[in-house]
């Protein structure tokens, strides 16, 4: 089966920056799963995955506009320290350059610490990889038809997902 609209694709990836340095990888973990055609992954990645099948291995290099977008100046906000999540340990302190997670009305968002104070932190709300040229090494593990519920809800359901248990 080929990846197309209303299919669920499972794939492993290794993400590299322009210098070829590995930024993250799913190897050694569960493959990433997404519903094709539901805007659940990067535009360029979805294009590259179209018509691929289980067992396919390939690399794709994405320009910023097909990945996390161009970097936009002036997207800094001051946020109370208590709203940031992701410190590596209890005793760690936020420092410039660290990546944190904040909860917004649009869901979770990664931000980058610009300036750390005792009670307030200035963060850059651009995605940490905005403005970057990225290369993905992909291995398609599985492709299946999406269920009616997955299509209706616009995302993949796993056996333990809250959405799947409610229906």
- pLDDT(89) > 80: yes
- pLDDT(83) > 50: yes
Phi, psi for 13 (deg, rounded to 5): -145, 155
Name the residue ranges covered by the structural domains of the chain.
7-68+130-159, 76-124
Q: Identify the pLDDT of residue 159.
A: 54
Q: Identify the pLDDT of residue 79.
A: 93
List of residues 6+ apart from 128 with CB closer than 8 A: 68, 99, 110, 112
List of residues 6+ apart from 141 with CB closer than 8 A: 10, 11, 12, 31, 54
List of residues 6+ apart from 99 with CB closer than 8 A: 86, 110, 111, 112, 113, 128
What confidence category does residue 163 fall into, taking pLDDT thresholds of 50, 70 and 90? low
Q: Identify the pLDDT of residue 103.
A: 86
State the fold for domain 76-124. Answer: Thrombin, subunit H (2.40.10)
What residue has token string 């794939």?
11
Q: How far is CA 2 from CA 14, 42, 50, 143, 158, in A?
A: 21, 19, 8, 7, 20
d(CA 36, CA 39): 7
- pLDDT(166) > 60: no
Instruction: Report the percent of the chain where pLDDT is more than 90.
Output: 81
Instruction: Report the percent of the chain where pLDDT is more than 70.
Output: 95
- pLDDT(76) > 80: yes
Q: Identify the pLDDT of residue 104.
A: 82
CB atoms within 10 A of CB 48: 20
CATH number of the domain located at residue range(s) 7-68+130-159 in this protein: 3.10.50.40
Average pLDDT across the chain, whole number:
91
d(CA 95, CA 115): 7
For 7-31, the pLDDT digits (tens) are 999 999 999 999 999 999 999 999 9
Q: Identify the pLDDT of residue 157.
A: 85
- pLDDT(73) > 80: yes
Q: Identify the pLDDT of residue 40.
A: 87
For 27-60, the pLDDT digits (tens) are 999 999 999 999 889 999 999 999 999 999 999 9
Nearest of 14, 35, 26 to residue 143 by alpha carbon: 35
């Amino acid at each position: 089966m080929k990846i197309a609209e209303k299919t669920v694709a499972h794939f492993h990836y290794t993400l590299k920056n322009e210098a070829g340095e590995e930024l993250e990888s799913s190897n050694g973990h569960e493959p990433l799963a997404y519903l094709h055609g539901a805007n659940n992954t990067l535009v360029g990645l979805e294009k590259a995955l179209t018509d691929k099948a289980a067992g396919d291995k390939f690399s794709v290099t994405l320009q910023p506009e097909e990945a996390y977008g161009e970097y936009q100046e002036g997207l800094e906000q001051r946020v109370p320290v208590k709203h940031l999540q992701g410190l590596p340990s209890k005793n760690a302190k936020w420092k410039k350059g660290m990546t944190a997670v904040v909860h917004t009305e649009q869901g979770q968002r990664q931000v980058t610490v610009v300036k750390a104070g005792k009670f307030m932190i200035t963060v850059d709300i651009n995605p940490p990889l905005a403005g970057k040229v990225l290369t993905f090494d992909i291995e398609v593990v599985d492709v299946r038809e999406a269920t009616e519920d997955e299509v209706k809800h616009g995302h993949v359901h796993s056996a333990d997902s809250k959405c799947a248990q409610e229906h």
